[in-house]
Structure 1
Amino acid sequence: MKYISSPHNALIRYAEQLQRKSKTRKKEGQFLIEGQREIQLARAGNFEMTQVLVCSEILLGREDFEPAQVRKQLTLEENTDIIAVSSEVYEKLAYRSGTEGCIAFAKAKNPHLSQLHLSNAPLILIAESPEKPGNIGALLRTADAANIDAVIIVDPVSDLYNPNVIRSSVGCVFTVPTAIASAADTIAFLKSNDINLYAATLQSSENYDRMDFTTATAIAVGTEATGLSKHLRDAAKTNIIIPMGGAIDSMNVSVSAAVLLFEAKRQRGFG
Structure 2
Amino acid sequence: MDRMTRWTALLTLALAAIAPATARETLDEAAVHARELVAYRSRNTGTLMSVFPDDAQVPTPGLPFGLQEYYAHYPDSNGDLLLLAMPIAAIYRNALPPHAPNLTMTINDMYGFGNGNLAAGRMRVALFGTLERVEGDREIEKCKQAYLEAHPDARGWIPPGGPHAAFYARFRVNKVYAFNGFGDVAFIGWVPLDLYRSSGAKMRSAKEVHRDWPVPRQPQENDDLGVVDLFGEQAGDHGVVRIMPVSREAVAHEEKRRERFRVQLA
**TM-score normalised by L of structure 1:** 0.23
Larger radius of gyration: 2
RCO higher in structure (CA 8 A, sep ≥6)? 2
**TM-score normalised by L of structure 2:** 0.23
